[in-house]
Structure 1
Amino acid sequence: MSDAHDAARAYLKVHAQYRPVDATFMGLPGHDHQLPPAGADSVEAELAALTALQGTLGRLDAPRTAAARIDTRMLDAQLTTVLAEQRRSPRQHNPAWYTGEAAFSVISLLLPGHHGDAQDTRDALRVRLEAIPAFLAHGRSHLQGRPRPDDVAERARREARAAAHLLTSGLPKHPLWDDALRLPAARAARALVGFAEDLAGPGAPVACGENHLDLLMRVTHALPFGPREALERATEAFERLTGTLEAQAARLPGDLPWTEHLARLEQIGPEPERMLDTFRDLHERALDAARPLLTPAADYGLDFRLLPEWAEGTGDLYFLFYRSPAPDRPGQGSVYWVTPPGADLAAYRRANNSAFVKLVHAVHHGSIGHHTHNARAREAGSVLARVAGTDCASGIALLGGGTMVEGWACYAEDLLAEAPGFYTPAEELLLTQFERRNAASCIVDLKLHLGEWSLDEARAFYRDRAHFAPARVWAETTRNAMFPASRVMYWLGTETIKELRRELALDPRTFHDALLSYGHAPATVVADEMRAAHAPPGAPA
């Protein structure tokens, strides 16, 4: 192993060994039948493997290309991050890790994006189902008497019950089902229910502390500042954007507060029978509107379908509308799930109002958002930047890619405001509120893990100041608690891209196509490479 790409591939082998469900989502072969090692020595064995890899970094050839530099920086950061997290608070000590991995070890094999042979996939599914009871039993051993936040334990309970429902009610409706799966599915479901019932234990604080938060920001996300400066920036932005919302609302007819304008947007939406067509039409409109600004991924399909019957009841799981295609086996296109209407059609239309479908589904996730970015990432020169943004059981594969992954998707929402007529003035108000909510999430992430706010205080801020939907607040703050520095990446990533665009002053298509060509590397790392590539003659290196 002499160069950065070889070292990155060596890391992915270790990653797949200890996180085989991630490997399935990445499309890495040979792991579809496995669950993560969870025995008594699993933490120590992983630490030893990662430490050995870290020891090879100093012996690598000096990187000569942008792709090699990116792999070097990402690998160093990833090893430092995982080692720090496994020493501080191993994921094996989190009950929701077990429920997420168990559920998505199954779901990862059921999704249309899994392009393996049907019988091989069915066999892998059976083996994973058979392994779930022992996996959860190991989890009980790791968790015995160990403090954990009460809300994280509650999330695990909800996930376990949802996964059990999937195995007993959903899986038999899937095309892969056959009778050989019946007994292992029933045993796995019983094990999940038992796991949920056995999660009583001492509570624990949620804050990771300033030192670890600083590491996640400066090393993992490669930001040039730590949590205190980030908090100051996000707080200033939140207040400034509040003023912007008020000014925008004053320019709209009706003399209404901005909250009322947004409430009225929720009443404008397609009839339920037109929902699929609306998703498709807005996706295509976004692709067309963006063409003067960048090159969209029009050569890789996105198929909008109603959520299948087998997946109903998965709401307490990390079951995404859009999930990034497996980088190593993406096929010819991917699927975007659209929730079918329920009994309350008025609530269904509000949840899928036209503005929300346009901004979130058609732009942020579809068209030029994650859809285009994922297609470009698969062609990146960096090994790790091709896979970092892969959606796995609880989040993306490598947290360090998040400022680019989510930063771009949020930036893409704003970018289409540059396409004449794409947004209405009221929709531009919603754009500002989305940016304000990203700043709010950044504030909560930081204050929670600095120990300045409790979960109750964070929830009050989300509800009363940031105007999150009440039904979303509990899940959002619990996710904040479990994954420190995972919500800072939205707003800080977007800000990094905006600042870079102002600095380089390239024409839009050149800038955006170049930016996306680097894949899922941290936004600041991409910025460094773009500065070097586009520096004017005679500028210092």
Structure 2
Amino acid sequence: MTAPTTPQPPRTPSAIDEIADAYVRTVVELNPLAATMLGIPGHDHLMPDLSPAGLAADADAARATLRALDDATPVDDVDLVTLAAMRERLGLEVELYEADEFHARLNNIACPVQDLRDVFDVMPTGTVEAWENVAARLAALPGAVDGYVESLRAAAARGHVAAARQVRLCVEQAREQAGDESFFTSFVRGESARAVLDGSAACQLLEGSLEAGAREARAAYGRLADFLADELLPQAPAQDAVGRERYTLLSRTFLGAEVDLDETYAWGLAELDRIVAEQEEVARRIAGPDASVEDAVALLDADPALQLDGTQALRAWMQETSDAAIEALDGVHFTIPEPVRTLECMIAPTQTGGIYYTPPSDDFSRPGRMWWSVPADVTTFNTWREKTTVYHEGVPGHHLQFGQAVVARETLNSWRRLACWVSGHGEGWALYAERLMADLGFMDDLGDRLGMLDAQRLRAARVVVDIGVHLGLEAPERWRAGADDPRWDADKAWPFLLANVNMPESFVRFELDRYLGWPGQAPSYKVGQRLWEQARDEARATAEAAGEEFDPRAFHARALALGSVGLDVLRGALAGTLADADGGAAR
């Protein structure tokens, strides 16, 4: 199967496209937060039903769509990819539901504790109507929290409770949102609101609704914190590890592929050693023939030309670096559609330590954005460390990947363009993009290259920690610290990460807590990169076997044109080996 690298005539939507589009309409009705994130209007005033009944409705929608797909016949290669991708993704949705993963979802980074607050970061705020939506959504937030508590309680009754570490972390986060200095208070009183609400009688009424909604939201988070601390925590297991059976399911979910976990763990150790050796060679070139990586880091950190003071300087530098990358890559290594040339770099209103990307809305009225959530104790930044992060979150990383899918309205249905997200595909591509920028000469500065390797080292280290802890594998002797039990756990993981992650301890602590509470997600970056590189190498081998020259630009265009799909589907689509349910080729 081939995907075009030049614009083609609009494709006539098929019956499978209609099924996919109908599923997206159902999803955004059931989950208004998804509608806001996707930029689909009409739902910004609502909150989802997170109760067991609401989660059952989500699963029923997936099952109904799978039944509809069973009766559908693919008419072309686009349909073949949609069919394979939806069966894989929606099948996993049902598996996760039946395994209680949605009912018991609780961790420090990706659960309703964060989702119900984070959605306000991407809501429109430029009109009075937009603030009316904010007020309505704030008023609906307590009901969503109550439903979430009901689901957590139901899962606990079946013996499914997150580890105590994650419960305690979420208690802290909920308490923060319940306090007088909560995000909700600052949000409704902030500059965005003041710029729109003009003091008229109608706006004064709306201001009162916003204040009441903020109070209700704070109170709801207070009740959530009490429930987590008083009822759920006593039932929570002390052990962080989830075990092989559950981890295998979660790994498949994040990768869209099934991998040999023991082989992947061994590869992670070997890959870490390889990256460290490359880092040490670069460090010697920076700081002298006997220098260590730590010596080179100290030298770079002491260079005032590579330092940024304060978050506004960080934001400005991120924007400048991102804009320069887009300008340099467009028309040379990639074809970047005009709407995708805009990327906004933002400082997040939270202080958790995360760095993330939010995609553009369906109509690009909300651009893609790169967010940096900076801990309160972090006030200086080093550009040599962070350039690779800009490429990861921006172009050619997430922003190019998401943007090219969103803009492909003439080819892809709305599920493929907007709603399908596979971590191993997306994060794997972004990490692949970091290394690609080095290969293209954008990281020839030795400091920038050391920073890129530093980021790659982090991603390799967390393959080791994540799989090692959750599967209870034996740690190498040098990381056992004299412990009687040779198996990985949080106590061994902490010094291991400190030795391999060149970040402030607050960042590292957040990262470790994330790995412990979100099993399988962190390895999807490096394992995803590995699978992307294998797909590229397979395409190169196929071209060379046919006596043709491999064209990386054409390969990247073909691959990104598919949208975000599971990595097994990606490789099948690129190799032309996908088939319909009866094993036939596209007709």
Shorter-chain TM-score: which interval?
0.7 to 0.9
Q: Does 1:107 align with 2:147?
A: no
In structure 1, distance between residues paired with 2:307 and 2:373: 15
Per-residue deviation at 1:472?
Answer: 1.9
Compare CA radii of gyration and give the structure with the larger one: 2
- C-alpha change, 1:275 and 1:87, in structure 2 (3 Å) is closer
Equivalent positions of 1:105-504 (< 5 A) are 105-109=119-123, 114=124, 118-144=127-153, 147-164=161-178, 165-176=182-193, 178-200=207-229, 201=233, 202-204=235-237, 205-218=239-252, 221-223=255-257, 225-254=259-288, 255-267=290-302, 268-270=306-308, 275-291=314-330, 292-297=332-337, 299-302=339-342, 304=344, 307=347, 312=349, 314-316=350-352, 322-326=357-361, 328-331=362-365, 333-336=367-370, 348-349=379-380, 352-361=381-390, 363-380=391-408, 381-383=411-413, 384-388=415-419, 398=421, 401-420=422-441, 422-452=443-473, 453-467=488-502, 469-504=504-539
Say which SS state the counterpart of residue 93 (structure 1) adopts.
coil
Alpha carbons of structure 1 residues 425 and 40: separation in structure 2 relative to 1, 3 Å: closer
Partner amino acid, structure 1, of 2:64: A
C-alpha separation between the residues in 2 aligned to 1:317 and 1:142?
Answer: 28
Q: Report which stretch shifted further, 366-375 or 498-507.
A: 498-507
1:37 equivalent in alignment to 2:49: yes
CA contact (8 A) 2:271 2:460 kept: yes
Q: 1:329 to 1:288 in 2, by over 3 A?
A: closer
1:415 is displaced (CA, Å) by: 1.4
What CA distance in whole angstroms lies between the structure 2 residues aligned with 1:32 and 1:138? 19
Corresponding residue to 2:25 among 6, 13, 17: 13
Aligned residue-pair number? 507
Say whether 1:72 aligns with 2:103. Answer: no
| Per-residue CA distance 1:369-413 (angstroms, 9 max, x = gap) | 222222111134343332246xxxxxxxx3xx2222112211221
TM-score of the two chains, using structure 2 as the length reference = 0.77
For each residue in 1:18-64, what CA deviation from the matched residue of structure 2 results, as whole angstroms up to 9, or x when unmatched?
A: 32212210123332222121335333333333333333332121x24
Distance 1:88 1:458, change over 3 A: farther
CA distance in 2, matches of 1:214, 1:369: 27
In 2, are the aligned partners of 1:162 and 1:316 still within 8 Å (CA)?
no
Unmatched tracts of structure 2, length 5 or more:
1-12, 195-206, 474-487, 541-549, 578-584
Q: Distance in 2 between matches of 1:523 and 1:237?
A: 20
Distance 2:25 2:164 in 1: 34
Letter matched to residue 100 of structure 1 = Q
**CA distance 1:376–1:448, shift in 2 (3 Å):** same
Aligned-pair identity (%): 22
1:3 match: 15
| Change in 2 beyond 3 A, CA 1:340/1:481 | closer
1:219-238 Cα offsets, whole Å, 9 max, x none, are: 66333533222222222211
Query: Is contact 1:290-1:419 (8 Å) kept?
Result: no
Counterpart amino acid of residue 471 in structure 2? L
- Cα distance in 2 between the residues matched to 1:382 and 1:66: 11
Evaluate the alpha carbon distance shift between residue 106 and residue 220 of structure 1 in structure 2; reply closer, same or farther with a 3 A threshold: closer
Dislocated runs of 4+, deviation >6 Å: 338-342
Q: Secondary structure at the match of 1:330?
A: coil
Q: Cα deviation per residue 1:208-248 (whole Å; 9 max; x = unaligned)?
A: 43234334445663335332222222222112222222233
Cα RMSD (Å): 3.2
> Does the 8 A contact of 1:207 with 1:450 survive in 2?
yes
Q: Alignment partner of 1:501: what SS? A: helix
Give the 3-state SS of the residue equivalent to 2:342 in structure 1: strand
Task: Return the alpha-carbon distance in structure 2 between the equivalents of residues 329 and 236 of structure 1.
Answer: 44
SS at match of 1:92: coil
Q: 1:7 to 1:235 in 2, by over 3 A?
A: farther
Structure 1 distance, partners of 2:274, 2:560, is 29
Residue 89 of structure 1 is matched in structure 2 by 100
Query: Hey, what's the Cα distance between the residues in 2 that align with 1:317 and 1:354?
Result: 17
What code does the residue aligned with 1:221 have?
A: L
Contact 2:188 2:211 in 1 (8 A): no
Equivalence for 2:483: none
How far 1:14 sits from its partner (Å)?
A: 3.5
Listed one character per residue, the Cα deviations across residues 409-431 of structure 1 (whole Å, up to 9, x for unaligned) are: 11221112233464312322222
1:520 corresponding residue in structure 2: 564
Please name the residue that 2:201 is paired with. Answer: none
Secondary structure of 2:128 counterpart = helix
| Secondary structure at the counterpart of residue 425 of structure 2 | helix
State the secondary structure of the residue aligned to 2:236.
coil
